Each structure stands twice: as C-alpha cells, then as structure tokens.
Amino acid sequence: MTLVTLNDVLKPAQSGCYAVAGLVTLGWEDMRAYVEAAELEQVPVILQAGPSCRAHTPLPILGKMFRYLAEGASIPVVAHLDHGYTFDECQEALDSGFTSLMFDGSRKPLQQNIDETAQVAELAHSAGISCEGEIGFVGYSGGENSSGTDPSEAEKFAVDSHVDAMAISVGNVHLQTDKSDGLDENRIRAIEAACNVPLVIHGGSGVPTHQRRRLAQTSGICKFNIGTELRLAFGKALRSSVLSDLDRFDRVAILKDTHAPLVVATQQVLRSFKPA
C-alpha cells in the first residue's frame, strides 16, 4: 500500500524544490486516470474530494475508492478532504480513511479561523494524519471576489493553527478556465519570509504553466490544486465520444473513451511540478 499523508509528500517537495499536484476528483473515471498518470510520471499524487464531489458521492465511499487506488499504486497517494467547512465533516473524512484534512475557515475572522483550524489540526495529528488550512479567501471566477493573504496574518496563522500546509490567496481564483494574469509573486515572497510552512495554491488551473513550473522549483509553494483544467480535458473527450456515434447509449463504453486523453492531460500537468 502506498497510502500516505499530506506531510509525507510535502516535506520532501519543500526540501527538494518541487511541488505535488492536488488533483480535484469528481468520480471513478478521473481518479483512476490521475493515478495512472502519476505512475507513468513516477511522482506522488494527492486525490482530492471537494464539495462538488462529496455532493455526488458520500465520504465513506470516496475514502474506500481512494484507498483502493492507493493499495494498487506504485507511487505515494494522499487521500485528501478539500474544503471541509465543519469539524464534523472533517471527523467523517477521518473516519472514512482519509489521510489529510483541509479545513476552510477563510471566510471567517482571523482568530475564529485560527481557533477552528487548530481544532481540526489537533484532530488530524492525534490520528497521525495531516491538516491543511487557508488564510486569505480565494474567490471564484464569475463569483465571490478574493481577499488577498496578509503576510503578517499568515505568520500568526501558521504558528497558532499548527497546520502542515497553508493555502494562500495571491491572485489565484477557483474555476478559472483560462491562464491569464498569473500570481502576485511579491506577495508570495513576503509570505515566505514570514513563515516556513509549505504553501498551497488553490485554483492552480488559472496559473500560467511557466509560472507554475518556476514557482514549484524556486518558492515555498509545494502544492498546486488542479481541477478545472482537467475537467475541461475530460469534458472534451466525453463530448467527442458521444458525438462520434449518436446511436451509442452504453455509458461504460462512452466513458472508456475519456481515459487515455485524461491520462495524457494529467501527465502534462504533473510534469510542470517536477524538479529542474
């Protein structure tokens, strides 16, 4: 079994000057493709169950799916709860076999975010797994606006919450379908100067590939979350399969056609985070 914690993969990334991909999953098809791509590239992978995924499939089932894939994998696999909003949700993920809990209190006042994140970190650490928190709100393309991370608040959050990884808001946006302006590197450097915890970028699909590669190799960013970019690749393959024969109706046959294109797209993502 190669099921590991978030700390197990981020600490080596931090010292080795590379990053690990947190890949947002929606179902069996993408989970399986992500692990195959990671094996082909010989890199660790973080399988993430976010709110959309959990709305479709219960956490106990997702935990079994992640662990099943990890058991057959030759590379390290992290089973990660993405954007857990309550302590009870994090507890359920722990009970379901997840090895990493991300508590998102970024919409809350600083001290409340610290206190609630620290509770989840204590829960995780007492069970021998990892915890990620978020300071500074990362907005959504066409939705809520971001609130950038203040470096001094990040320093306090990193120390007082006891997280193993810290997600920051530095120009990144969730659900962005294009790679436009990139990240605020001055803010990133200021946060790095204030704390030494591994940093996480949510909304990594909107970050230009060349910037992702450079920051993975030269900054404290050890984890990039990628979802939208791979959803687009999956959707394109699915659309092509359906339109290739309008009389087809067997979803197993149709979904099978998405596998190879998604593996290739995932390999391209993973390569950008490797060490120089």
10 Å Cβ neighbour count for 150? 19
Give the start-to-end residue ranges of the domains of the chain: 3-271
- 80-124: per-residue pLDDT in tens? 999 999 999 999 999 999 999 999 999 999 999 999 999 999 999
Angle at 63 between CA 258 and CA 59, to 5 degrees: 95
**Rg (the chain; Cα; Å):** 18
Tell me what the mean pLDDT of segment 233-262 comes to. 95
Instruction: Say if residue 275's pLDDT is above 70.
Output: yes
pLDDT the model gives residue 146: 73
Residues annotated catalytic, as ranges: 82
Please provide the DSSP assignment of the chain as one string.
--EE-HHHHHHHHHHHT--EEEEEE-SHHHHHHHHHHHHHHT--EEEEE-HHHHHHS-HHHHHHHHHHHHHT-SS-EEEEEEEE-SHHHHHHHHHTT-SEEEE--TTS-HHHHHHHHHHHHHHHHHTT-EEEEEESB--BTTSSPPBPPPHHHHHHHHHHH--SEEEE-SS--BT--S--S---HHHHHHHHHH--SPEEESSGGGS-HHHHHHHHHHSSEEEEEE-HHHHHHHHHHHHHHHHH-TT---HHHHHHTTHHHHHHHHHHHHHTTS--
Instruction: Say if residue 5's pLDDT is above 80.
Output: yes
Which of the pair, 61 or 1, is modelled with greater confidence?
A: 61
Nearest Cα neighbor of 199 from 147, 155, 139 is 155
- 200-232: per-residue pLDDT in tens? 999 988 899 999 999 999 999 999 999 999 999
Burial of 208 (0-12, 13-18, 19+ CB in 10 A): middle
pLDDT the model gives residue 55: 95
- 127-185: per-residue pLDDT in tens? 999 999 999 988 887 777 778 899 999 999 999 999 999 999 998 888 776 777 789 89
pLDDT the model gives residue 1: 58
Give the CA distances from residue 221 to residues 181, 186, 231, 244, in Å, rounded to whole numbers and listed in that order. 18, 13, 23, 41
pLDDT the model gives residue 182: 85
Q: 46-55, 180-189, 259-268: lowest mean pLDDT where?
A: 180-189
User: Which CATH number among 3.40.50.720, 3.20.20.70, 3.40.50.1100, 3.30.420.250 corresponds to the domain 3-271?
Assistant: 3.20.20.70
